[in-house]
Amino acid sequence: MADLQRTIDAKEAAASNRKERLPELEMLRGLAILGVLTVHATSSAVVAVQNSWVRDAYVALNAFSLFCVPAFIFLTGFVLFYNYAGRPMSWSGLGAFYVKRLKQLVVPYIWVSLGYELAASALKHRSWEPSDMLGRFGKHALNGGAYPHLYYVIITIQLYALFPLLLLVFRKLRLPAAAAVPLGFAVQWAFYLLHLNVWHLEAKGSWSLTYFAAFLLGAYGGMRPNALKSWLGIGEQSRGRGGKLRFALGAALWLAAAAGFLRMHVAYRSGGAVPEGYWFEIGYNLFTLMTTLMLLGACIQLGNGRKARKPAAALADLGALSFGIYLVHPFFLLLYHRHPPASATPLIYHLWTAGGFVFALGASLLVLLPAHRYVPGAWLVLGPAPAKFGPKPKAEAEEEAAADVRLQEATE
């Protein structure tokens, strides 16, 4: 009887710790990966197109899409604190946390880095001496240098390493969730000023503290999701004039931040006058955070709309596959950009640029979907398979096979 009661208590505790599913997070992740693809697909056009309104349009599109990495980091903070802030963290739990992250993040990162390292060695005619290759690979594995986009994985590894310490700080000091927001800005700007005036780091963007405001803003959202919705002027608590006013104020601030940052970015790329001092850093910080919050609000509204179920589901599916897409899409863009259009006609060039986006996304999905479903061990390179796209459960597969047999017998 005692064993039975303990089992019931354990099940009840597990149920109480089970968090409500938030599909808007996967939808925001889907928008973020589209932003990554846009940045990379337009990067060559930003340089190649001559100064004109067309180039300004490319620069603005490229700059607007820069919200993507802070959005991913916001989501990392949100998910970690949402899932773990209410749980006790024992030494065994801490070990399980790191083992899970090692398996899901570090292992695919190492294999993908090796693949990009070999590809770069072949394309750039580097030395194939084992000692030279091992030396390069070891250095690049530590700093994400095997290919430019892999710096983001290094940042995520740093954040996973810091997370238990941050959680301990919040618990021991009994900090309110709202303290996460000013703390994130304080740490990020202290790091930025130290870099600018003392350290002069070679690759500031490869350090997680560069994005700490986004991470701890996500932490606040994870600990207080309903309060974040209230901030945005959406959700049950935001109905009425107060919610509409907050939403309008947030939208106005976002539009102002976006207009200011994009204007500075376009002027800088075109050789125009730009403000001196910290304005670029301030503009980037405010624009990316405000864009992330506004897009999160849009995802919540989209998920609640009955007429938008298919777009919402498509975005959520894209978000579920985003890590694999992030890892492999530069390889397809690299192949695509090795075959520029023969014609110099502007229209052909613009179509070719847009085609890079479509090709990178389509080719990534064509690799990921069958690999996750049918290739054992694909997670070693592509990351963990989302439940929806992973191997089918044995019972389901057997039922489908039986249905196929019945269909064949009925039609013979």
Rounded Cα distance, 193 and 213, in Å = 14
> Quick one: pLDDT at residue 203?
86
Residue 173 tokens, joined: 């000091």
CA distances from residue 174 to 84, 171, 195 in whole angstroms, order as listed: 16, 5, 30
Q: H-type helices in 305-345, by residue range? A: 309-320, 322-337
Encode pLDDT of 234-261 as tens digits.
Answer: 766 666 677 778 888 889 999 999 999 9
Read off the amino acid at residue 353.
T
Contact, 145 vs 116, CB < 8 A?
no
Rounded Cα distance, 373 and 390, in Å = 5
Q: Counting beta carbons within 10 angstroms of the beta carbon of residue 2, is it exposed (0 to 12), middle (13 to 18) or buried (19 or more)? A: exposed
Task: Write the Ramachandran bin of 340: left for phi over 0, alpha for psi from -120 to 50, otherwise beta.
Answer: beta
Rounded Cα distance, 373 and 391, in Å = 4
> What averages of pLDDT result for each successive group of 10 residues across the chain (412 residues)?
40 51 94 98 92 92 97 97 88 86 93 94 84 89 93 96 93 94 97 95 92 98 92 71 82 95 92 86 96 95 84 95 97 94 88 97 98 95 93 60 43 40
Q: What is the full DSSP assignment across 70-86?
A: HHHHHHHHHHHHHHHTT
> Quick one: pLDDT at residue 246?
83
Nearest to 228 by CA among 139, 296, 288, 135: 296
Contact, 297 vs 306, CB < 8 A?
no
SS3 of 339, please? coil
Rounded Cα distance, 353 and 330, in Å = 14
Rounded Cα distance, 156 and 33, in Å = 15
Contact, 229 vs 20, CB < 8 A?
no
> Quick one: pLDDT at residue 91?
79
Encode pLDDT of 183-199 as tens digits.
Answer: 999 999 999 999 999 99
The phi, psi pair for 272, rounded to 5°, reads -85, 180
Nearest to 67 by CA among 183, 211, 196: 211
346-374 and 23-48 helices cross at what angle (nearest 10)? 140
Rounded Cα distance, 62 and 37, in Å = 10
Q: Counting beta carbons within 10 angstroms of the beta carbon of residue 393, is it exposed (0 to 12), middle (13 to 18) or buried (19 or more)? A: exposed
Rounded Cα distance, 189 and 348, in Å = 44
Nearest to 257 by CA among 279, 215, 287: 287
Q: Which residues have CB under 8 Å from 23's CB, separation 6+? A: 303, 312, 316
pTM of the full structure: 0.90
CA angle 371, 375, 377 (to 5 degrees): 105
Contact, 67 vs 295, CB < 8 A?
yes
Nearest to 105 by CA among 290, 293, 327, 295: 327
Burial 44-55 (b: 16+ CB within 10 A, else e): bbbeebeeeeeb
Rounded Cα distance, 94 and 288, in Å = 32
